[in-house]
Amino acid sequence: MIIALRYVGIDISKNHLDIFDEADGVPRRIANATQAITQQVARWQCDALVVFEATGIYDLALREALRQAGIQFARINPARARDFARASGLLAKTDPIDARMLAAFARAMQPAPEQVADPARGALARLAKRRDQLVLMRAQEKNRRSEADDRAMAERIGRLIEVLDSEIAEIEADISALIKAEAQIADDAKLMRSLPGVGPVACMQLIAQMPELGRVGPKQLAALAGLAPSTSTAAPSAASARLRAAESAFVTPFIWRPSTQFAELIRSRPSMHDCDRPENQPNSPSSPSPGSC
């Protein structure tokens, strides 16, 4: 007997969730709170695909409840949801309508369920995001200091820059410690750093922002990084042609080449069984180093 998959769409706001379950066709609203969400999720068992838009911190309780219950879910880009709504003729926009639209999106598009999160990679991503924020703040303050026409004000800004320097150094130390503490991440980082042009910052960002590295092919990686080619029938302007040339020369090599090289490198990494083969002697150039498996 084949159990039909039920499709559930959820529109998320700060204080409540609007839910549309195709199995009963009845829209409902619950509080965006752990107890209410847990009670609702318990009714779906494991035969549902739940789809909702990515909303930052407001979907944390929902994601955790779904993971605990073993229910598949997909977080989608809000722009993708609106494109689907327009294509379906659903121009009205209310929370219940959005929930119904997301359920229809789940049935029609069959989005890939989100994979189980790796806590270590999640922590690394949060540290990397905070580091980016602080680096941006430091760059802004440096610009302000260079434009300050008052010495006292420049000194005030300089003191803030020193605080930011200290905080960035502390976060980078935490990132380094986390990478070394997790065997799989440390192994990935070692492989990635062996590629030409990949430094500690690029390595950290690629591991944190692209957990798919080493698990999907180069074309999928290019699509994930937003570097997949797109066709256009319109004749490009001179400005757009220059922009594309600059992107090909600088942006694409920085992201695409290291990531795709790493994908190939990690796929060729020896498995546990390879370490037991007689031909893999420690002195062989192609064999893994002691302790690598």
Is the whole-model pTM more than 0.75? Answer: no
Give yes or no: residues 132 and 212 share one domain: yes
Residue that is written with structure tokens 């494109």 in the block: 83
Per DSSP, what are the bridge partners of residue 75?
A: 52
Tell me, yes or no, whether 95 and 20 share the same domain: yes
Is 82 found in the same domain as 33? Answer: yes
Residues 97 and 183 reside in one and the same domain: no
Tokens 């990949």 found at: 198
Q: Mark whether 61 and 132 lie in a shared domain.
A: no
Give the CATH number for residue 64: 3.30.420.40
Inside any domain, residue 62? yes
Q: Is residue 154 part of a domain?
A: yes
The answer to whether residue 272 is domain-embedded is no
**Residues 84 and 11 grouped into a single domain:** yes
Q: Are 160 and 141 found together in one domain?
A: yes
- Same domain? For 71 and 158 the reply is no
279 within domain boundaries: no
Which two tokens mark 96?
């219940």
48 lies in a domain?
Answer: yes
The answer to whether position 292 is within a domain reads: no
Q: Residue 185: is its pLDDT beyond 60?
A: yes
Last residue of a domain, one of 109, 138, 168: 109
Same domain, 135 and 71: no
Provide the residue range defining the domain that includes 54.
Answer: 6-109
> pLDDT of 141-152, one tens digit each?
999 999 999 999
> Which of 127-136, 205-214, 246-255 is the most confident on average?
127-136
Check whether residue 155 and residue 216 sit in a common domain.
yes
The answer as to whether 138 is a domain residue is: yes
Give the Cα separation of 169 and 44 in Å (integer). Answer: 46
Q: What is the mean pLDDT of the chain?
A: 79
Among candidate residues 58, 82, 109, the one where a domain is terminated: 109
The CA–CA distances, whole Å, from 105 to 10, 71, 244 equal 11, 18, 33
User: Of 3-12, 37-46, 264-273, which gets the smallest average pLDDT?
Assistant: 264-273
- For residue range 112-170, list pLDDT tens digits in order: 888 766 788 888 888 998 999 999 999 999 999 999 999 999 999 999 999 999 999 99
- Rg, the chain, Cα only: 24
Does 177 map to a domain?
yes
Number of compact structural domains in the chain = 2
Note whether 156 and 213 are same-domain residues.
yes
Same domain? 85 vs 147: no
C-alpha angle with apex 155: 151 to 160, nearest 5 degrees? 150
Would the CA dihedral through 63, 55, 171, 212 be positive or negative?
A: positive
